[in-house]
Structure 1
Amino acid sequence: MGSSGSFPALEDLHFPSAQVSISQTLSSLRRSALSVTNRLQSIEADAAFVQEVAEQYGLPLIANERCGSWYISPDAKKGSAYFKSTDGHTGQWDFSFRRLNLQLLPLANEYGGCVIVDSTRRGKLMPDALSKTIPIWSAVLNRALFPTETACHAVQLPPNYLGKSEESQIENRIDGFVHSLKSLKLDLDQLRQQLGKPIRVAWANPEYFYPTDLRKDDASCLFVLCSASKRVHGAEMSEGGYIQGAGDDSEGWAHGLTPPVFWANQAALKQTSEEDLPDLIAELIAEYQQQRGEQEATLISPTKNLYINPTDPRVNGSGRYDLVIDCNGDPATVEDNPKLLNLGCASAKLGSRDLRKSLDKVRDFVNAQLGSDPSQSILITCDTGKDLSAGTLLAIVCQFYNDNGEFDASLSKRSISKTFIRQRLAWIVSSKHDVNPSRSTLQSVNAFLMQPPDY
């Protein structure tokens, strides 16, 4: 019927410009809803709720890094915790020996508890770190440190949040975690004194406080797990610019902005248009880095001479430490200096592989230098001060240090097990709480330390 006035078939009709326009419009709206401006405004709104929680309970604020720091003014922040949501994922419940978080114990004792702040993205009431990871950690510590106080041994989980099966499976793993914690040979009596009394857990989020009547008391340390953001069920565009968990995954949106710089420059950031924000943020970051002083290196106890820090030329070349090992430093720059060892490792996973090939140089360097004078101090650095430097330190303390933290060159030939490596890792984690050697780094160190003697 074509020429006699028939209509074309439906499949012959095309509306390319309309389709592109709708797609582009939706993408543009979503980008607009997730703008940096909207994120910072959402963070400010959530931070006001966090402050209310702190005032209601009369407890100090602790950021669960990295997200939590966005929601706490630096002058109100008493410390940091490092609980991973992945340790609370269904079927993967764990007690992390890379994240012991023992720095919270004396603080909780001093104040009667704390408010641990975190957030999560659209759709969830709270992150798994608050609903499962910290309750698991609390139950493990309560059982390990207060074995006779059985009333506090159950895992405290949020009400009507998990299924009964998941709750039961979590409960069944706790004793195994307690056994593993004890295998680290930490001074449990000292930890018990630091904490003082068992942990009680409560939750606070914009939907509810639970239990509503729980307050500080003389019988327990109260840990309030605060999810800062209100739950958003629909798309971001439906909330008039509010973004749930706006501080999460800041590497993807913040243009390098960090919480300290955000809090110090709120007014300027608010007054700047979205298109000009990246340039302003770059300026503010540069100013902050110029003004910031040298970071104090951390002594790894119980040793008296091993230190860890992010690489900083002002510190590395200051002569403050007798020996320096820089994991990422260029080996060609220190050829004539027997007191410096640059390993030339790359960053991230490639760096972990490079470290595996460099640990024999570390062994020889430490053996030669401390073998002639064990009193010398050693500073170990890497780009972050958390990954490769921690792995290098782990190799050193496993090979050369006795249980009292004293150097002994004869120990380098001893047989090393995974349990022993975990015990020595606890020295590092307990001394510097934000170290986070990656799985790849730990695998490299394990492979080096556990190789056959005639390798």
Structure 2
Amino acid sequence: MANHDHEVNPTLNNSSYPQLSDIIFNNTTNSSFNKVLGELKKSTLSIPNRLRSIKQDANFVSEVASAYALPLVANERCGSWYIPPEQKKQSAYFKSTDGHMAQWSFSLRRLNLQVLETIGEFDGCIIVDSTRRGKSMPDALSKTIPIWTTVMNRVLFPERTESHEVATPPTVVGESEHAQIAARISGFVEALKTLDLDLTTVREKITKPLRPIWVTPTSSLPSEAPEFSDFHPVVLLTASSRVSGSESTSETGYVQGAADDAEAWAQGLTAPLFWQHSETLLSTPEDMIEEVIASLVAQGGASKGSQLTAIGPDQRVVIGMIDAAETDARETDIVITVSPKESKVLRSKMRSRYLHLTLADGKVGSRNLRHSLPNLITSVKAQISASPTSRFVVTDANGKDQGVGVALAILCLFITDDGNLRPVNEVKEPPNGLNKQIIKQKLSWISVAKPDANPSRTTLQSVNAFLLG
């Protein structure tokens, strides 16, 4: 019988065997390998791949809208990319971070009451969002909005106890997490009640409790639009298909959650601009796409001034974008701009009724806001003494951040809870009796009137530091 045991040949040179350095990549090889992987990922996440994926997901969104016969509401920031403008009824602002593990929250800054109006008008709605990194749905749809619907049910329908339990998708939210969310609902309800909002008109439109229904690209759609007699359906639609694994792209080039973080990849392209020129963009070769986008942005990508929005019961404070104030401010208004440079148009138009607060964009300016507010408030007092019946028009570049912070300070100092102007001689710094609850209540006035107002945490910290001394 043959002997199959192998003997080591003592005369064999050890260099004939693979060495450790041959098996393990050296630094140069690792660098080259990582570079290849980076280039591969960059090509799969290219702008053309993203835009084609967005269009594919948008087709599915349209199918769901037809199946349920309900209006489409975009959960910003990315929801609008998946909805053709003629199909988009409204925007919502539900943050995924309010649904993150152990961070579950009900936002008093983002009440989304405008969504309730749409639900009441159309007996329901479809809220559109997407997600990346292999998840089946974003936390905004699986947890944030279910928390919101439950809180609203308890406040609007205290007698309908069957609608007071939070509902979450069992395939996404485990029993333990669901129980922890449920334990926080009562606290969220009490927090909302402290704002003392007048929900009479909302209650007239919302005639039934709200109930979430989850839809993803793997869901079966109804053949006929269903009717729900006991509740208003809130269809929570994940537009993006799930890509298995940790990457966001499939072998075919499909990008899951392609519209997410558009600021990082879109080169200035916006959702409205994409839909306006979708045929051109989808047929443009990759090596020309950035040039085409740059041309479209230059021609029509600049955002137009939004309409000025009045805040509070007596609407004495108005917020918006600087260019909107340049065209829409009245001669009797007192206009405040917050930006690195003052507006020559407003300086010429409003003369002494124009106040400018010089602040840098972003966090640096928001931090400095607390130091700039005292002098501005002194100027506001002088303006009120001279023109006690004027509106205050407070603006910044996008109408959403630092200007909103200034408007909040003015509301807290000069406007009473019923919306009237407080006598100047009663305005103290720091004001008597002002607390965080009053600041939250005045901030809710802004949230209700202008849902897309989004003062940063740094801006709000500056305002609180100034108001609370």
TM-score, reference length from structure 1: 0.92
1:441 counterpart letter in structure 2: T
Structure 2 runs not aligned, ≥5 long: 1-11
Q: Corresponding residue for 2:394? A: 380
Q: Corresponding residue for 2:38? A: 27
Distance in 1 between the 2:342 and 2:280 partners? 43
**Which among 272, 291, 307 is matched to residue 284 of structure 2?**
272
Deviations 1:7-62 (A, max 9, x none): 17724557777555433322221111110000000001101111111111110000
Distance in 2 between the 1:62 and 1:247 partners? 16
1:315 counterpart letter in structure 2: A
Q: Contact (CA 8 Å) 1:33, 1:236: kept in 2 or not?
A: no
Q: Contact (CA 8 Å) 2:305, 2:321: kept in 1 or not?
A: no
**Which among 177, 180, 189 is matched to residue 169 of structure 1?**
180
**Which among 369, 377, 380 is matched to residue 366 of structure 1?**
380
Does residue 422 of the first structure (1) align with residue 440 of the second (2)? yes
| 14-23 vs 390-399, greater mean Cα deviation | 14-23
Q: What SS class does the counterpart of residue 327 from structure 1 fall into?
A: strand
- Superposed, 1:37-436 pairs within 5 Å as 37-208=48-219, 215-234=226-245, 235-236=247-248, 238-289=250-301, 294-312=305-323, 315-316=325-326, 320=330, 322-330=333-341, 337-409=351-423, 410-413=425-428, 414-436=432-454
4+ residue stretches of structure 1 with deviation over 6 A?
14-17, 210-214
Q: Corresponding residue for 2:19? A: 10
| 350-359 vs 241-250, greater mean Cα deviation | 350-359
Q: Contact (CA 8 Å) 2:320, 2:394: kept in 1 or not?
A: yes
Distance in 1 between the 2:357 and 2:110 partners? 26
Q: Contact (CA 8 Å) 1:145, 1:189: kept in 2 or not?
A: no
Distance in 2 between the 1:369 and 1:106 partners? 37
Q: Contact (CA 8 Å) 1:300, 1:427: kept in 2 or not?
A: yes
Q: CA 1:329–1:374 in structure 2 vs 1: closer, same or farther (change >3 Å)?
A: farther
**Which among 433, 443, 450 is matched to residue 461 of structure 2?**
443
Distance in 1 between the 2:296 and 2:67 partners? 34
Distance in 1 between the 2:14 and 2:340 partners? 77
Distance in 2 between the 1:20 and 1:330 partners? 46
Distance in 1 between the 2:36 and 2:366 partners? 44
Distance in 2 between the 1:221 and 1:238 partners? 36
Q: CA 1:135–1:286 in structure 2 vs 1: closer, same or farther (change >3 Å)?
A: same
1:38 counterpart letter in structure 2: N
| 258-267 vs 373-382, greater mean Cα deviation | 373-382
Q: Contact (CA 8 Å) 1:355, 1:441: kept in 2 or not?
A: yes
| CA drift at 1:341 | 1.3
Percent identity of the aligned residues?
A: 46
Larger Rg: 2
1:125 counterpart letter in structure 2: S
Distance in 1 between the 2:211 and 2:249 partners? 38
Q: CA 1:181–1:140 in structure 2 vs 1: closer, same or farther (change >3 Å)?
A: same
TM-score, reference length from structure 2: 0.89
Q: CA 1:237–1:359 in structure 2 vs 1: closer, same or farther (change >3 Å)?
A: closer
Q: What SS class does the counterpart of residue 352 from structure 2 fall into?
A: coil
Deviations 1:219-262 (A, max 9, x none): 32110000001111134554310010001011111111100000
Q: CA RMSD in A?
A: 2.6
Distance in 2 between the 1:15 and 1:138 partners? 56
Q: CA 1:412–1:125 in structure 2 vs 1: closer, same or farther (change >3 Å)?
A: same
Structure 1 runs not aligned, ≥5 long: none
Q: Contact (CA 8 Å) 1:328, 1:343: kept in 2 or not?
A: yes
Q: CA 1:127–1:211 in structure 2 vs 1: closer, same or farther (change >3 Å)?
A: farther
Q: CA 1:293–1:132 in structure 2 vs 1: closer, same or farther (change >3 Å)?
A: closer
Q: Contact (CA 8 Å) 2:111, 2:447: kept in 1 or not?
A: yes
Q: What SS class does the counterpart of residue 105 from structure 1 fall into?
A: helix
1:10 counterpart letter in structure 2: Q
Q: CA 1:399–1:267 in structure 2 vs 1: closer, same or farther (change >3 Å)?
A: same
Q: Contact (CA 8 Å) 2:67, 2:223: kept in 1 or not?
A: no
Distance in 2 between the 1:332 and 1:393 partners? 18
Aligned residues: 448
Q: CA 1:318–1:202 in structure 2 vs 1: closer, same or farther (change >3 Å)?
A: closer
Q: Contact (CA 8 Å) 1:123, 1:233: kept in 2 or not?
A: yes
| 267-276 vs 386-395, greater mean Cα deviation | 267-276
